[in-house]
Structure 1
Amino acid sequence: MFSNIEDYALIGDCETAALVNRDGSIDWLCWPAFDSDACFAAILGTKEHGRWLIKPAAEIIKCERRYQGDTLILETRLVTADGAITLIDFMPPRGAASDIVRIVRGDHGTVKMRMELIIRFGFGNNIPWVRRAEDGALLAICGPDMTVLRSPIETHGENMTTVAEFDIKAGDSVPFVLTYGPSHLKLPAPINPDHALRDTVEFWSEWSGRCTYKGHHRDLVMRSLITLKALTYAPSGGIVAAPTTSLPEKLGGSRNWDYRFCWVRDATFTLLVLMNSGYTEEARDWHNWLLRAVAGSPAEMQIMYGIMGQRRLLEWEADWLPGYGGALPVRVGNAAHAQLQLDVYGELIDSFYQTRVANLELDGDTWAVECEILEHLTAVWQRPDHGIWERRGNGKHYVFSKMMCWVAFDRAIKSAEKFGLEGPLEAWRKLRDEIHHDVCEKGYDPRENTFVESYGSDVLDASILLLPLVGFLPASDPRVKGTIAAIEKHMMRDGFVLRHDPREVTDEIQPIEGAFLACSLWLAEAYIKMGELAKAEELFERVVSIANDVGLLAEEYDPLVKRQTGNFPQALTHIALIAVAQNIDSAKRPQEKPAMERAK
């Protein structure tokens, strides 16, 4: 029986992350990094594919969860007929090793507890050798990987599972610490669970305390910022799109992708929300990751990279896993990394421009890299590509892709003009105007008064909502208003925005796919641009209302069954949530300094 995606909460140490179910089971963890093989993969299969369960032995009558203040420390209160316990789950900031700490605290009564630890390396495929160390720690070793379990509670083996049974009374506290280490090295040193809890509280409290946003919906913004921080790979500054792979975009479907990588497309969105929230250090780290990742020949620039900037993200299928709710295949790696997606050039140049506007110190080679990229883009912008949604098969002339080519030259021109940088401005201006004319002539349907998905198409695409947001056309332009009206008419389901036009039916596009949450929030931003603040707030409230009990959102939402779908939690969704909240707040406080905008 599969739990709903929204039944999970996130813990992490800014190098990897785990998903904790309502019932006290950790069902997903890749160790030691986001892109490592999973050692808990039950979310994509059964408990036999790896999980770590700590729960009352008796029936759970009530479950309540929350994060401890503005931290990533999860508290799950489980109530039975005999009493109640609180399970405190967290991953301390990475020291010499990576740890998961689980503390069982007795609240009232006496509760019988059961712990089951099933380590399965290699995405649930490899059973480890389990033995005792001299200090009593329990080791699980398989190839290069090792975990070490330490607890004052006695454990024993049972059907290839490490189990423990114990009673906990009110006022008692029982810790379990699971640590990862390379199997060829010495055992990781033990940590003090109480000290680790204190250190983790201090880490997150200090980080959250740096947030400069004090406006409306601050709690939602803060939780989204913490989630974004948790999805950051601290050693490099790269931010993964999600910590999971193959959670289906359509329940039971085949659109199951690996999102444990860093997308260039998210660059500008990410930089703006970080800078608007006071996190200039994180913004600078993300910028520097981008610069390192794309360094080299512009012709070889990719749409996504590994957490350290790796380029080879080969895709394969874990055919031993039955998939979330039977959704197959389960994919590891992402073949879309090799696609031509022209929009990423615009996102990259825009992100560098916004960084200059924010007065962040840039690497001296940044402008040289931009000029090389623009020279390459001059030669390729007229080619068909695979678009923002990474469609597989033959390419098209996507309107969003061409529009972002325009953004690339527009932001380069602005950088040169505002910051005294040298470049072939006349050639860039001419090309910017040529692209703009091309899009307006070939990507606009005058009969329907709307921009369309691709040149010559008669269907829509939610990415064209970004037309006014990036400054391609003002929100007051009749063509923009017509586009918004067409999307409202054809691409909304139960108040949420689909990313694909449901009138288009192909083998790849499944019309009953869930609504794309970032697109719904882009429409809210377009409303703000159009001066329709009430409609923006209504849509924003609708999206945040389907966040789970601890404020987390996936990639999509299926309004028919009222469930979140897709990889979880999704960075782009939370980034869009922050942007809309900040822009609503700015619109309500016109006398104050507004949030920085993409099209500034």
Structure 2
Amino acid sequence: MANSLDLGLIGNCQIGALIDATSEIVWCCLPRFDGNPVFCSLLSNSAAADRIGFCSVEMIEQIGAEQTYLANSAVLVTRLTDAQGGVVEITDFAPRFRQYGRMFTPTMLIRTVHRLQGSPRIQLHIRPSHDYGRGLCDITYGSHHIRYVSPNGVMRLSTDASITSIIQEIPFFLEDRITLIFGPDETIPGGIQELAQRFQAETLSYWHEWVRDLGIPFEWQDEVIRAAITLKLNTFDDTGAIIAAMTTSIPEAPDSGRNWDYRYCWIRDSYFVVNALNRLGATRTMEHYLSYLINVVAAAPGTQIQPVYGIDGRARLEENEISTLPGYRGMGPVRVGNQAYEQIQHDVYGSAILAVTHVFFDQRLVNRGDTALFHRLEPLGETAIQVHDQPDAGLWELRGTKRVHTFSSIMCWAACDRLAKIATKLDLAERATYWCTQAERIHATICERAWNERKKAFVASFEGDTMDASLLLMHDVGFLAAEDPRFAGTVVAIERELRHGDFIFRYVEEDDFGAPENAFIVCTYWYIYALVALGRSDEARQLFENLLVRHNQHGLMAEHLDVRTGEQWGNFVQTYSMVGLINSAIRLSKRWDHAF
């Protein structure tokens, strides 16, 4: 069967893994999100008998498979059925729970295989690879463990299954339960099965408590909870960074060449994530990200912020093509690194300041923003003033063209606007006046140069005539009031030029790779935001319900959607898309006190 994005995600904010509908682990990087993928069959030929980079439980004479998450958790369960009525249940998770006063997030995946009924016969295929599919790891083993050795390090499998059956891939009857624990090259004290059961119980308890503290809308609760857990799984606890997606090089459309590595922290994307989680009451993610952001800004030369950084805060993300993996469905190239780190994208100054603004106004936080932090933000605002009318690559990261993108300018305005509001909050009257004046000046420039009288709309770039879906956010960031006719005019123009059926394209003009073929999913969510603001909630609700149908079986989404077939494309799971779901549900849901 060809690879698909009908995948489940497990993780613990240190590592993550993607598991297909039959329980094969198709993607997992160690020792962290941007590490070497020990399981990488998502980017290789799934039909090849000698393929490597995966972990599967094959049921002999299998006729059925079903998969679900345990409620309100990141624990995934797959049930396989054979032709004689035998059933096995495979449970996958990465441990995450509080222990000894701190969060325990080991570089560990735990997989248990349990016989539910009949006499199921199974075969284990465990073939971790190294150096992006360059070859199989070397093996050494003992009585209850296998060490997979590579130039990247050692992954140890501790198990109570037959070592011979695993190494030689010999089928066997599953009598009760076996446990597979992938982790560091360390001996596990005590019973393997008992440890797995305890870690599973503790991990379930953690996720149940985390979900219980969320402030969710009345409608679409399951979908919002799954989206929130997914966003949490894309955060890197150690530094506070937030990755855009777990994967690299899933093409935005078939054979498009639009294959990028998303395992890094985009300042823009991270703002959207912390904003969405804050709306649900999950404030710790924002607090951790703030620490990451402040360290990144402090290291930036002359307050010139890049659009993207490594999860460790490193600035250089040199992009290389990998020849050892053919790519998703053979559609290469596979890229590691992202050259976008070299791009000039002026919206990042607004994204950074908008993310930090929460800490000055959110009364739930213990560590609140103060005058010292405000003064550390002001140089970013000064840079926003300098660049607001200068050309850049824009938020869509155009590689061959630069122009003055309207959205970038709007975010520079937002940087100054929020600094004015923060200064007012801190009773810094002189600074409030200064930043308010700068915001007004940038606002006037945008209104003069980005307004297209013929289209009766704001357009993608200064003195331009094309549309850009990011302008749907003009009201959301506070640039225009919902009742401003220019906002409605811009929405109408986007409907006219960028809407294809029930979906919004980010733009339709040709770029470095030709014209976009698929819809960028979050743009339709932005359209829903705009419709709600304009009082067109019935239309918005219908579009939202239509989008939910397009999610995979677990409610997860990639970055792009084929509007003809409904198939997902692009890196997975895409945080942008899950943010759109949360924000749309909050806007559209009935109120709790009006629901009965």
TM-score norm. by structure 2 comes to 0.92
1:152 aligns with 2:151: no
The 3-state SS of whatever aligns with 2:313 is coil
Q: C-alpha displacement at 1:298, in angstroms?
A: 4.4
Q: Please, which moves more after superposition, 11-20 or 202-211?
A: 202-211
Partner of residue 71 from structure 1, selected from 51, 73, 78: 73
1:281 partner letter: R
Checking the alignment, whether the CA contact within 8 Å between 2:305 and 2:348 is kept in structure 1 is no
Q: Structure 1 vs Structure 2: percent identity of aligned residues?
A: 32
Checking the alignment, whether the CA contact within 8 Å between 1:54 and 1:115 is kept in structure 2 is yes
Match for residue 598 of structure 1? none
Q: C-alpha displacement at 1:266, in angstroms?
A: 2.4
1:193 aligns with 2:196: yes
CA distance in 1, matches of 2:80, 2:592: 46
CA distance in 1, matches of 2:442, 2:529: 24
Q: Relative to 1, partners in 2 of residues 1:224 and 1:145: Cα closer, same or farther, differing over 3 Å?
A: same
Match for residue 178 of structure 1? 182
Q: Relative to 1, partners in 2 of residues 1:126 and 1:363: Cα closer, same or farther, differing over 3 Å?
A: farther
Match for residue 22 of structure 1? 21
Match for residue 141 of structure 1? 149
Checking the alignment, whether the CA contact within 8 Å between 2:256 and 2:513 is kept in structure 1 is no
1:13 aligns with 2:20: no
Per-residue CA deviations over 1:394-413 (Å, capped at 9, x if unaligned) read 31110101111111111111
1:165 aligns with 2:171: yes
1:505 aligns with 2:510: yes
CA distance in 2, matches of 1:474, 1:154: 66
The 3-state SS of whatever aligns with 1:383 is coil
1:247 aligns with 2:246: no
CA distance in 2, matches of 1:423, 1:303: 31
Q: C-alpha displacement at 1:97, in angstroms?
A: 4.0
Q: C-alpha displacement at 1:511, in angstroms?
A: 3.0
1:140 partner letter: Y
1:488 aligns with 2:491: no
The 3-state SS of whatever aligns with 1:163 is coil
Q: Please, which moves more after superposition, 14-23 or 199-208?
A: 199-208
Q: C-alpha displacement at 1:77, in angstroms?
A: 1.3
1:276 aligns with 2:283: no
Partner of residue 110 from structure 1, selected from 119, 123, 134: 119
Q: Relative to 1, partners in 2 of residues 1:422 and 1:337: Cα closer, same or farther, differing over 3 Å?
A: farther
The 3-state SS of whatever aligns with 1:124 is coil
Match for residue 407 of structure 2? 400
Per-residue CA deviations over 1:22-75 (Å, capped at 9, x if unaligned) read 1221111101100111111111113624000112021x3222111001011101
Partner of residue 57 from structure 1, selected from 47, 57, 60: 60
Q: Relative to 1, partners in 2 of residues 1:178 and 1:289: Cα closer, same or farther, differing over 3 Å?
A: same
Q: Relative to 1, partners in 2 of residues 1:284 and 1:331: Cα closer, same or farther, differing over 3 Å?
A: same
Q: C-alpha displacement at 1:155, in angstroms?
A: 3.4
Q: Relative to 1, partners in 2 of residues 1:175 and 1:547: Cα closer, same or farther, differing over 3 Å?
A: same
Q: C-alpha displacement at 1:151, in angstroms?
A: 2.1
1:227 aligns with 2:230: yes
In structure 1, stretches of 5+ residues that fail to align are 593-600
Q: C-alpha displacement at 1:271, in angstroms?
A: 2.6
Checking the alignment, whether the CA contact within 8 Å between 1:49 and 1:125 is kept in structure 2 is no
CA distance in 2, matches of 1:145, 1:394: 42
CA distance in 2, matches of 1:421, 1:589: 38
Per-residue CA deviations over 1:89-125 (Å, capped at 9, x if unaligned) read 1111284842211111222211111110111111111
CA distance in 1, matches of 2:396, 2:168: 43
Match for residue 100 of structure 2? none
Per-residue CA deviations over 1:564-589 (Å, capped at 9, x if unaligned) read 1111111111112111111223xx44
1:307 aligns with 2:311: yes
Q: C-alpha displacement at 1:308, in angstroms?
A: 2.3
CA distance in 2, matches of 1:319, 1:423: 58
1:565 aligns with 2:564: no
Match for residue 596 of structure 1? none
What does 1:332-343 align with in structure 2 at a 5 Å threshold?
Answer: 332-343=336-347
2:76 partner letter: L
Aligned CA RMSD, in angstroms, stands at 2.1
CA distance in 1, matches of 2:476, 2:592: 18
CA distance in 2, matches of 1:370, 1:54: 52
CA distance in 2, matches of 1:584, 1:138: 51
Checking the alignment, whether the CA contact within 8 Å between 1:371 and 1:423 is kept in structure 2 is no
Match for residue 3 of structure 2? 3
Q: C-alpha displacement at 1:157, in angstroms?
A: 8.1
The 3-state SS of whatever aligns with 1:579 is helix
CA distance in 2, matches of 1:429, 1:412: 8
Q: Relative to 1, partners in 2 of residues 1:352 and 1:474: Cα closer, same or farther, differing over 3 Å?
A: same
The 3-state SS of whatever aligns with 1:140 is strand
Q: Relative to 1, partners in 2 of residues 1:162 and 1:120: Cα closer, same or farther, differing over 3 Å?
A: farther
The 3-state SS of whatever aligns with 2:281 is coil
Partner of residue 578 from structure 2, selected from 567, 570, 574: 574
CA distance in 1, matches of 2:430, 2:341: 30
CA distance in 2, matches of 1:379, 1:278: 35
Partner of residue 110 from structure 2, selected from 97, 101, 105: 101
What does 1:520-539 align with in structure 2 at a 5 Å threshold?
Answer: 520-539=524-543
Q: Please, which moves more after superposition, 309-318 or 294-303?
A: 294-303
Per-residue CA deviations over 1:442-496 (Å, capped at 9, x if unaligned) read 2121111121111232221111111111111112222211111121122122301
CA distance in 2, matches of 1:229, 1:287: 15
CA distance in 2, matches of 1:162, 1:553: 37
Q: Relative to 1, partners in 2 of residues 1:214 and 1:589: Cα closer, same or farther, differing over 3 Å?
A: closer
TM-score norm. by structure 1 comes to 0.91
CA distance in 2, matches of 1:485, 1:168: 61
CA distance in 1, matches of 2:106, 2:31: 9
Match for residue 239 of structure 2? 236
